[in-house]
Structure 1
Amino acid sequence: MTLSRRAVLAALAASPALGAATAKPKGFVDVAGGKLVLDGKPYRFVGTNLWYGAWLGSPAAYGDRARLTRELDKLKSLGVTNLRVLGSGERSPAKVAMDPTFRGPGEDYSADLLTGLDFLLAEMARRDMKAVIYLNNFWDWSGGMPAYLNWTGNGTWFQQGDPAHPWPEYPDYSARFYGDAKANAMFRHFIRAVVGRTSTISGKPYRDDPTIMAWQLANEPRPGGTEAFGVRNLPTYYRWIDETAGYIKTIDPNHLVSTGSEGAMGCLEREACVVEAHKPASIDYITLHVWPNNWSWIDFKNQSGTYEAGEARCRDYVTRHIALAKGLNKPLVIEEFGLIRDDRNFTPGAAATYKDRFYTTIFDLTLADMKAGGPVAGTNFWAWNGEG
């Protein structure tokens, strides 16, 4: 993949300036006039997902701080200045789930991973980078919401992909989390521990650290999978978003809060769901993910034969969400997008013909909206693998 970094930077210079001054302390990203701003000027960025940053930053044997600093240096040299990182992880019986994790069912959170997050933020601050930290996950690769449900005994736990529970049973199960009072009490205790934390590296409370751009409720929270369950669950889903975001702001009023939503494809394919989920004042900007392989818009077994039609759907998807952001007068961040390499080859240096075309499409759409003074603030491609 080739990042159009120079084109993005040129577009930032050409973007219309904002007259409104930020109300946040100096160095904090804010929202003004439906745009992200930093110290009264438009904040625009090229970013990536570095979900494992806290693990590399850990002082434990599995950490690798030297590698983390090299990765950050490389990203900075490419013009990548915004990182979406995982600030949670729940112990889970899922075979795909990561280990170690930030927490189990008790309140004895991992000092090593919390210190790893401290180190990551301190090193990002040295490089003038911003972080978006997500605090939960709809998917079980990090434990996530199903781990909480397992701890509270809410239904029979199963992992995503279990043939005994075909799709869309998994999203219906995971989405029970929003209405589980005990699970959310456990989650809120963890939120307070992280959001209310003071760094062991910088000595600065997280709430006072401008390196953090935003807290994020979860990775790709969905109201459900089936129409029957999802529609019935919508009021609970909307309430959970507003109340959890509001709770974060009682601990930390200085930082933005976002949902981590995929957009309509993660909202029962309903734009009205996206609007309602992002309407609360407690939610500062709209998030969007674009996954044409996952959504069967581009067939990974036949990318050459399905790419054109799939790209058109992606363009339309982004354009429609830009319109939704304008309607809500809130910024939009395309914080995940990806496409598999040619022939499903994951080897470094393998051909990425359609992946490169897809990334170019997303960057072109972003640049066009920035130049027009639209709501798109930046992009975070999925994902930075670096030396790993």
Structure 2
Amino acid sequence: MFPRLAAVSALLVASANALGISLPGFVTTKGSQFSLNGKPFFFAGTNAYWLSFLTNLSDTSLAMDKAKAAGHSVIRIWGFNDKNATFDPNGLPQYSPDSDAIFFQSWDNGKPTISAGLQHLDQVISLAERKGLKLTVALTNNWADYGGMDVYTANLGGSFHDDFYTAPKIKNAFKNYVRTLVSRHVLSPAIFAWELGNEPRCGADGTRNLPRSPSGCDTAVMTAWAKEISAFVKSIDPFHMVVVGSEGFFSVPGGSDDWAYSGADGVDSEALLRLKTIDAGTFHLYPDWWSKDPLTWAPDFIAAHGTLQRKVGKPVIMEEYGWMTPEARLSSLGIVSNVTRLQALGLWQDTSIAQRLAGDQYWQLGVDGLSFGLSTNDGFTIYMQNKTEAGPLIFDHVKKVQALNH
């Protein structure tokens, strides 16, 4: 950022903190709804984490155009990609940067360096701004993909995955990266929200990630971390919203036999949503991975978040949701299901609308016509050219959600 612009930005931040002002074109909250320029802003968006890493900006532009043409006004992307020069293939975390061409931060023997690749992310955000799109930008990852939390921890002397949430040295390193990224886009209307992390939990993958500490990580630890980091983001950028990015698990009083309601992974959605520096709630929905019924348990989970939205009086977003293709389910899990994607996702979307959730974003956007062909397919991707699925699940659903704005 140019020195003069940085000075102006700093003055605006100070004024906004003092007066509680917002800027035109920035999404804010009004009770349990989002608001844009004084009008309700219900949205049906999508996830396209890979937009951050396309080396050809023409591909990025084309994908954004197709998303916008479908009616998606909010897209969720990754704002992280950590590369470790001292990577140990026999150690943890077992990761590799999924894009060697574009990474945002590198580590060498405990020292982080901001990469020139961050300028590429700047261009992606600027492109979204010119197209009138909003981006939710996740700041790190709970999982080993694209580096994330464990790269910080392994480089800075930690032993456990949840050291990321408690060790001062690690938290300060994360804050330094957050400051560098967030401060570049304080005045950009393209930012829908800054997200503390993708699916933060006490633990992570049992094979690829550092282990969870034997004791010491619980809902109090996770909530305290979210409070500290969200307040830090707000101190840099008071204009944009902040969300946690959690999967939306609950911690019901007295406990629960259902792990998703027991606080087992340190996530207490109500406690997180009640934080003053958290503007909206998030939850994810993957019955395939969670061994849950898509037609009974899943709509109940959505309804529980609708209840939470009304109870706390802040917006809640069904931020990621997906049901595998039959081929992917058989390959990944070795099982079959007679529930189709139209049945599962259609029911979840209808439930979200009935609950008047503030927004939803399916996982994930699929487009064709890129310089290399199709965008990535992880078994959950919905390709817009597949009208059998995209017709009802994307185009028709967008119209139903947009009708809530009127």
Given the two structures, how large is their TM-score scaled by the length of structure 2? 0.72
Question: In 2, Cα distance between the equivalents of 1:245 and 1:90?
Answer: 21
Instruction: Using the TM superposition, give the Cα deviation of residue 218 of structure 1 relative to its aligned residue in structure 2, in angstroms.
Output: 0.2
Contact 2:303/2:355 (CA < 8 Å) preserved in 1?
no
Q: 1:215 aligns with which of 194, 197, 207?
A: 194
CA distance change for structure 1 residues 44 and 229 in 2, over 3 Å: closer, same or farther? Answer: farther
SS of the counterpart of 1:26? coil
CA displacement, residues 162-221 of structure 1 (integer Å, 9 cap, x when unaligned): xxxxxxxxxxx4222101111111101001100011xxxxxxxx1111110100000001
Unaligned runs of at least 5 residues, structure 1: 1-21, 57-62, 156-172, 198-205, 298-308, 371-375
Q: 1:143 aligns with which of 143, 147, 154?
A: 147
> Are positions 1:279 and 2:279 aligned together?
no
Question: In 2, Cα distance between the equivalents of 1:281 and 1:381?
Answer: 27
CA displacement, residues 228-262 of structure 1 (integer Å, 9 cap, x when unaligned): 95774332221110010000011000000000000
Instruction: Using the TM superposition, give the Cα deviation of residue 310 of structure 1 relative to its aligned residue in structure 2, in angstroms.
Output: 2.9
Question: In 1, Cα distance between the equivalents of 2:177 and 2:41?
Answer: 30
SS of the counterpart of 1:317? helix
Contact 2:46/2:72 (CA < 8 Å) preserved in 1?
yes
Given the two structures, how large is their TM-score scaled by the length of structure 1? 0.75
**Residue identity opposite 2:365 in structure 1:** W
CA distance change for structure 1 residues 247 and 73 in 2, over 3 Å: closer, same or farther? Answer: same
Instruction: Using the TM superposition, give the Cα deviation of residue 43 of structure 1 relative to its aligned residue in structure 2, in angstroms.
Output: 0.8
Q: Indicate the residue corresponding to 1:378 in structure 2.
A: 359
Question: In 2, Cα distance between the equivalents of 1:91 and 1:352?
Answer: 41
Contact 1:69/1:123 (CA < 8 Å) preserved in 2?
yes
Question: In 1, Cα distance between the equivalents of 2:212 and 2:156?
Answer: 25
CA displacement, residues 83-129 of structure 1 (integer Å, 9 cap, x when unaligned): 101011222542454233211233421212x2222221222122221
Question: In 2, Cα distance between the equivalents of 1:151 and 1:250?
Answer: 27
Question: In 2, Cα distance between the equivalents of 1:324 and 1:32?
Answer: 16
Q: Indicate the residue corresponding to 1:291 in structure 2.
A: 286
Q: Indicate the residue corresponding to 1:164 in structure 2.
A: none
Q: 1:189 aligns with which of 148, 171, 176?
A: 176
Question: In 2, Cα distance between the equivalents of 1:333 and 1:46?
Answer: 10
SS of the counterpart of 1:132? strand
Contact 1:132/1:214 (CA < 8 Å) preserved in 2?
yes
> Are positions 1:315 and 2:294 aligned together?
no
**Residue identity opposite 1:42 in structure 2:** P
Question: In 1, Cα distance between the equivalents of 2:216 and 2:303?
Answer: 25
Q: Indicate the residue corresponding to 1:324 in structure 2.
A: 308
Contact 1:289/1:336 (CA < 8 Å) preserved in 2?
yes
Question: In 1, Cα distance between the equivalents of 2:34 and 2:319?
Answer: 14
Unaligned runs of at least 5 residues, structure 2: 1-19, 88-93, 205-210, 252-258, 332-336, 368-373, 376-406
CA distance change for structure 1 residues 352 and 260 in 2, over 3 Å: closer, same or farther? Answer: farther
Question: In 1, Cα distance between the equivalents of 2:187 and 2:173?
Answer: 25
SS of the counterpart of 1:264? coil
SS of the counterpart of 1:219? coil
Please tell me the root mean square deviation across aligned C-alpha atoms, in Å: 2.7
SS of the counterpart of 2:202? coil
CA distance change for structure 1 residues 23 and 95 in 2, over 3 Å: closer, same or farther? Answer: closer
SS of the counterpart of 1:99? coil
Contact 1:91/1:99 (CA < 8 Å) preserved in 2?
no
Q: 2:230 aligns with which of 245, 251, 257?
A: 245
Q: 2:355 aligns with which of 347, 369, 373?
A: 369
CA distance change for structure 1 residues 103 and 284 in 2, over 3 Å: closer, same or farther? Answer: same
> Are positions 1:174 and 2:161 aligned together?
yes
